Structure formats: structure tokens, C-alpha cells
């Protein structure tokens, strides 16, 4: 009964949408909004409605993971004119959504506001950015005291350019605490209305890109729908009520065959990779503190079983280093290092390593004791309700028990899981938050090794097991300071970091979680796919700048 009411309510909501908006001009999008809309601030994008940056606010550049290339956006061009000076030229003819011109002074203001107020998320840039020189009305020179080429690239695609005439004169508190309910950006869509279950973006008919880029946003409205269950998403997709879905949905072969649901690939894995998923190990807890012990664990885990059981082959097992198969990353894959120091599923090898370390089952209860004969037990955790991950850690625990390690899966609720993760309070934890697609493979190594984690009570950026190694810190800095054009130089550092990762394994990479994407052809057609790869098909926060925005220029309704 309860379920029926829920379905009825959902049906009514859909009817309400349909009545308000011309269906053939409206695209319904789901998978990137999990709480009611309450924030549209470009300064707190992690809390803001997805699309706040990308649809409303825009960045200087986009980055396309499908090609591995930066694409000028608000900037017409950008390049390093010396080792320490990055020059951007702004496009001519940019406008804000209120019709005022977007000028070089807005770009300058966007960066300088983070110098004036030191609590802005990109304020730390000023530790390595010395000054910005306005060369002429369209040109800025960013002069770096410490050029961090890789981090800078990430900033170019993530810092939203903001209008000076709206934000100047505001205090830091006003800036950081604002919900920014009437966001004014330069983008192709503005926020029209919202309700607890949706955010409606309306096309900006005067968007600069129509004239300057020849790109026309096809939908008059983009309705980002808050859908809290995958089952509801499946139902809406099957009925053609949800056009663009970025949920993990089971049963893809059936959805494709019986309902014509569109996916990136026509066969398994159906999905592009979005991040590297694996286990962080608490390296300060015995016996996880022993690198060889961690290595034995890596040999014991059968990822192919997880790929089949938990994901119906919609994900692929990772290579031992965990470098994703996207063009910008995989070109740095250190084949030889992986061959020499890598691991694969080989329980006999796991047993051999553990035997040699002196971990033996002395009392014959099926579990190994430590070399002093003491029993021990470890837990592995993921959030309750994340069913694919729950099945995954059951499988991992089962494999570890097969080689005599007493490992028990536990499922705290998501908020406790996050607390445990960020505070490093766990034995073994499944995670993928910091290891996503980006403009640089540096971000992957920074995520698994994030040096500040070892010194801080909380880490939000990775290295959750608090691994510490000064050599790694140096190598990460070295890569960050290697120009992106010096691919051989980057490759050498990647090889060294990979060797350390494989010998030390504070993180054991297991599979690439999918860029979940399913689309309905009921109203909108010409969705991107392997055969027509014009856009990264993801509407999650942070992914519009990876090309998600281009989906809206490419789809068609008839
Ligand atoms: Ca025993």
C-alpha cells in the first residue's frame, strides 16, 4: 500500500511536470541530485545543485576525458608563455545573463577575491600564484612563484568565473554562507524555479556561445529531478519520463532489449569508467602495518567475481596500478613496473607470502594467528544500503577468509561510514571518492597517497589509511611541477610512484566504477555513445565541465 502511494505521488509529480512544460522541449535528468535544492553557490559547489557550475556559471576551460584534451571555453586560448607564466586570452563578446559584458576584470576579480578572503576553496592557489598581470583588455598573465602545472589545469576547469558587479563588496561570511538563490552566471541556462524534488533550468536565449561557438542548447528546459531510489529511476526510464539517467541501474541487457534504453557501449561493460574503486588499509594497525601482509591480501582478492556478482559486468577489473583506461591517464601506464611488481588473483601466492611472514593457523580453527601465535580479526566496511558495494565487500571478506584471514564485513550507515573514512577509523574500507576522472593522472596518485592525510586528524582528499612516505611527497610535487607537455618526464615519475604503490599498497585498486549512463529515446534522440562520442554523458556535479554540457547541444527531439 505504502509503495502504491509512493508510485502514485511520483506519477502525479510527472503529470505536473508534463502540464507545465512542453515535453518535446524539456529534458528530464536524474542521478546527480540527492537532497532538496538549497544552494546555488559557485563557492560551495560540493553542496550546490548540480549544474550550478557548468550550466549557470562557467569555467575558463573544459576538459574532455574522451579525448584527453583541454578545450577553451570562456577563454579563447591559454598557454604557458614561460616556465612560470600562464597567459589566457578571453573571448571577445562574452556576456553575463543580465546582459552586461563579461570582461577580463571579472576574471581577475574571480581570482583576487580568493586572495583577499583566505577561506575560499581555491584560496590556497595564492601559496604558489604570485600575481596576475592585466596585459590588455583581453589578456591576463598568471605569474607563478611555484608553477604547479597539474593542479593549475584542474583549477582552469573547476573555478567558476563570477560577475564582479554582483560579488564585490561582500564579506567572506556573506560569500561563503550565501545560498545564492538567484545565481547570475554567464552560462547557457539559468535557474528558473525549484521545488523539493526538482530544479528547473531554463535556456538563456542570449547565451554568448550561440553566436561565438555556434552551439545551440536544444532543450528549452533542463529539469534535474531528485529520485531517491534506483527502482523509481528504472520505472521512469522505461516509461520515457526520465530522459537522461546517471544512476547505477541493474538489469541493463533487459532494459536495452525490451525498452530500448540507450547506453554508451552496446555490450558489457555498457558504461565508461568514472573512478578507480578499491580498498584503503589502515597502515597504522597491526598486521595491516606490514607491507607484505597488504600485498598478500591483494593476491587473495578475486575481482572478476565482484565484476560478475555485484555489477553484472558493468564494470571492469582495474589494472594493478589502478590507472583508468581514459586517454589522458592510460598513456602513462607503466607496463614494465606493473609486470614486475603487480599482483593478480593468485591465492596460492597469498598463502605463500603469509606463510613466509610467519602467519600460521596454529590452533587449526581455520584462521591464521600472528607470528607470536596471537589471533586477530579485521573488519571491512562500506555504507549500509549501497547494495553493489555490500555484495563486493562480502566477496572480498570471503576471499580473505579463504587464505586464512579472519575478516568480517560491516555496514555502518553512510554518515558513520564517512566519519570513519575521513578520520581513518577503520581496518579496511572500500572507497572511490577522490579517485575520479580528471585532467591529470597526478590527481589519482595524489588521492591514493595524499601526504597531508598522515599529519591531519581528518582527510577529505584521500590516503584515508594515513600512509606516510617522504619520497612519495617529493615525487608528487615533482610531477605537479612537470609541464603537461613533458610526457616523458611525467611517465618517469608515474613509474616511480607506481612501483611504490605496488610494493606498499596502502590502497589496493580493484575495479573502475562506472560512469553510469542510461538514456531514453522516447523524446530525445542522438545521445552520445561509443559510436557517436561527442560528449561525456554525465550530469553529476563537476562533470558538466568534463563535457556533460555538450550533451545538451547534441541531443535532438522531433
Ligand atoms: Ca587459528
- Report the C-alpha gap between 511 and 320 in whole angstroms: 9
Other C-beta atoms closer than 10 Å to the C-beta of 441 total 25
Beta strands across the sheet bearing 407-410: 316-317, 507-515, 272-281, 428-431, 378-381, 407-410
CA of 364 to the centre of ligand 1 (A): 5
CA of 368 to the centre of ligand 1 (A): 5
CA of 464 to the centre of ligand 1 (A): 30
CA of 358 to the centre of ligand 1 (A): 12
CA of 374 to the centre of ligand 1 (A): 9
CA of 370 to the centre of ligand 1 (A): 9
CA of 378 to the centre of ligand 1 (A): 14
The 3-state DSSP composition of the chain as helix, strand, coil percent (nearest 5) reads: 35, 20, 45
> Using an 8 Å Cβ cutoff, are 248 and 410 in contact?
no
Task: Map residue 244 onto helix, strand or coil.
Answer: strand
Bridge-based pairing state of the strands 85-90 and 139-144: antiparallel
- Report the C-alpha gap between 261 and 388 in whole angstroms: 21
CA of 100 to the centre of ligand 1 (A): 74
What is the residue-wise DSSP string for 453-519? Answer: GGGSS--SSS-TT----HHHHHHHHHHHTS-TT-HHHHHHHHHHHHHHHHHH-SEEEEEEEEE--EE
Name 512's Cβ contacts closer than 8 Å, sequence gap at least 6.
273, 274, 275, 276, 277, 315, 316, 318, 324, 325
- Report the C-alpha gap between 519 and 244 in whole angstroms: 5
CA of 130 to the centre of ligand 1 (A): 60
CA of 361 to the centre of ligand 1 (A): 4
CA of 398 to the centre of ligand 1 (A): 16
Residue 20's pLDDT is what?
A: 73
Name 450's Cβ contacts closer than 8 Å, sequence gap at least 6.
434, 459, 461, 462, 463
CA of 285 to the centre of ligand 1 (A): 20
CA of 360 to the centre of ligand 1 (A): 7
CA of 190 to the centre of ligand 1 (A): 63
CA of 56 to the centre of ligand 1 (A): 60
Name 231's Cβ contacts closer than 8 Å, sequence gap at least 6.
none
DSSP H helices in 194-267: 208-212, 230-238, 252-259
Name 370's Cβ contacts closer than 8 Å, sequence gap at least 6.
286, 287, 358, 359, 376
Residue 235's pLDDT is what?
A: 95
Cα angle 62-63-69, degrees, rounded to a multiple of 5:
125
Residue 18's pLDDT is what?
A: 47
Tell me which residue has cell 535557474.
191
Grid coordinates representing 153 are 589545469
CA of 406 to the centre of ligand 1 (A): 9
CA of 355 to the centre of ligand 1 (A): 13
What is the residue-wise DSSP string for 377-434? Answer: -EEEE--TT-HHHHHHHHHHHHHHHHTT--EEEE---HHHHHHHHHHT--SEEEE-TT
Tell me, what DSSP letter sits at residue 99? S
Grid coordinates representing 550 are 555538450
| Backbone phi and psi for residue 3, each to the nearest 5 degrees, phi listed first | -65, -40
Helix axes 149-156, 470-480, angle to 10 degrees: 60
Residues in the chain with pLDDT values less than 50? 1-4, 6-7, 11-12, 14-15, 18
CA of 409 to the centre of ligand 1 (A): 19
CA of 365 to the centre of ligand 1 (A): 4
Bridge-based pairing state of the strands 524-525 and 407-410: unpaired
Grid coordinates representing 37 are 535544492
CA of 535 to the centre of ligand 1 (A): 54
CA of 376 to the centre of ligand 1 (A): 9
CA of 557 to the centre of ligand 1 (A): 65
CA of 509 to the centre of ligand 1 (A): 28
> Using an 8 Å Cβ cutoff, are 123 and 114 in contact?
yes
Task: Map residue 354 onto helix, strand or coil.
Answer: helix
CA of 242 to the centre of ligand 1 (A): 53
CA of 343 to the centre of ligand 1 (A): 26
Name 455's Cβ contacts closer than 8 Å, sequence gap at least 6.
none
CA of 305 to the centre of ligand 1 (A): 26
CA of 71 to the centre of ligand 1 (A): 58
CA of 506 to the centre of ligand 1 (A): 26
CA of 282 to the centre of ligand 1 (A): 22
CA of 226 to the centre of ligand 1 (A): 49
Amino acid at each position: 500500500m505504502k509503495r502504491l502511494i509512493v508510485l502514485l505521488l511520483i506519477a502525479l509529480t510527472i503529470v505536473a511536470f508534463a502540464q507545465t512544460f512542453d515535453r518535446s522541449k524539456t529534458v528530464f535528468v536524474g542521478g546527480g541530485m540527492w537532497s532538496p535544492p538549497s544552494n546555488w553557490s559557485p563557492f560551495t559547489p560540493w553542496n550546490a545543485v548540480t549544474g550550478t557550475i557548468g550550466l549557470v556559471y562557467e569555467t575558463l576551460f573544459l576538459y574532455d576525458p574522451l579525448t584527453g584534451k583541454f578545450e577553451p571555453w570562456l577563454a579563447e586560448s591559454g598557454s604557458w608563455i614561460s616556465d612560470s607564466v600562464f597567459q589566457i586570452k578571453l573571448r571577445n563578446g562574452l556576456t553575463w545573463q543580465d546582459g552586461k559584458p563579461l570582461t577580463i576584470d571579472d576574471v581577475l576579480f574571480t581570482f583576487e577575491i580568493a586572495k583577499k578572503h583566505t577561506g575560499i576553496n581555491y584560496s590556497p592557489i595564492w601559496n604558489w600564484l604570485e600575481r596576475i598581470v592585466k596585459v590588455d583588455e583581453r589578456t591576463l598573465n598568471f605569474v607563478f612563484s611555484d608553477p604547479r602545472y597539474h593542479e593549475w589545469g584542474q583549477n582552469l576547469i573547476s573555478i567558476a568565473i563570477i560577475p564582479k558587479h554582483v560579488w564585490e563588496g561582500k564579506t567572506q561570511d556573506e560569500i561563503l554562507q550565501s545560498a545564492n538563490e538567484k545565481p547570475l552566471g554567464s552560462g547557457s541556462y539559468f535557474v528558473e524555479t525549484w521545488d523539493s524534488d526538482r530544479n528547473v533550468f531554463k535556456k538563456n536565449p542570449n547565451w554568448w556561445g550561440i553566436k561565438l561557438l555556434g552551439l545551440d542548447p536544444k532543450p528549452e528546459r533542463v529539469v534535474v529531478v531528485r529520485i531517491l531510489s534506483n527502482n523509481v529511476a528504472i520505472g521512469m526510464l522505461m516509461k520515457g519520463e526520465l530522459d537522461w539517467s546517471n544512476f547505477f541501474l541493474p538489469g541493463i541487457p533487459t532494459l536495452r532489449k525490451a525498452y530500448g534504453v540507450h547506453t554508451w557501449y552496446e555490450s558489457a561493460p555498457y558504461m565508461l569508467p568514472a573512478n578507480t574503486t578499491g580498498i584503503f588499509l589502515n597502515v597504522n594497525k597491526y598486521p595491516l602495518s606490514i607491507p607484505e601482509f597488504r600485498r598478500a591480501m591483494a593476491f587473495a582478492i578475486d575481482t572478476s567475481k565482484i565484476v560478475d556478482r555485484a555489477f553484472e559486468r558493468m564494470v571492469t577489473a582495474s589494472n594493478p596500478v589502478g590507472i583508468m583506461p581514459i586517454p589522458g591517464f592510460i598513456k602513462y601506464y607503466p607496463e614494465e613496473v606493473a609486470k614486475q611488481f603487480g599482483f593478480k588473483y593468485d591465492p596460492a601466492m597469498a598463502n605463500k607470502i603469509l606463510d613466509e611472514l610467519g602467519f600460521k593457523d596454529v590452533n587449526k580453527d581455520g584462521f591464521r594467528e600472528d607470528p607470536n601465535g596471537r589471533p586477530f580479526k579485521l573488519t571491512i566496511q562500506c555504507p549500509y544500503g549501497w547494495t553493489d558495494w555490500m555484495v563486493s565487500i562480502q566477496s572480498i571478506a570471503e576471499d580473505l577468509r579463504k587464505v586464512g584471514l579472519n575478516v568480517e564485513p560491516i555496514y555502518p550507515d553512510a554518515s558513520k561510514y564517512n566519519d570513519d573514512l575521513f578520520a581513518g577509523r577503520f581496518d579496511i574500507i572500500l572507497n572511490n571518492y577522490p579517485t575520479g576522472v580528471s585532467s591529470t593522472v597526478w590527481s589519482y596518485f595524489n588521492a591514493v597517497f595524499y601526504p597531508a592525510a598522515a599529519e591531519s586528524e581528518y582527510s577529505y582528499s584521500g590516503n584515508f589509511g594515513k600512509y606516510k612516505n617522504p619520497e612519495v611527497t617529493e615525487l608528487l610535487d615533482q610531477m605537479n611541477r612537470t609541464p603537461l607537455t613533458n610526457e616523458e618526464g611525467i611517465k618517469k615519475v608515474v613509474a616511480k610512484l607506481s612501483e611504490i604503490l605496488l610494493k606498499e599498497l596502502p590502497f589496493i585498486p580493484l575495479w573502475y566504477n562506472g560512469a553510469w549512463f542510461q538514456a531514453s529515446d522516447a523524446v530525445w534522440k542522438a545521445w552520445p555513445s561509443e559510436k557517436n562520442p561527442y560528449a561525456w554523458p554525465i550530469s553529476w556535479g563537476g562533470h558538466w565541465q568534463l563535457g556533460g554540457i555538450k550533451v545538451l547541444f547534441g541531443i535532438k527531439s522531433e
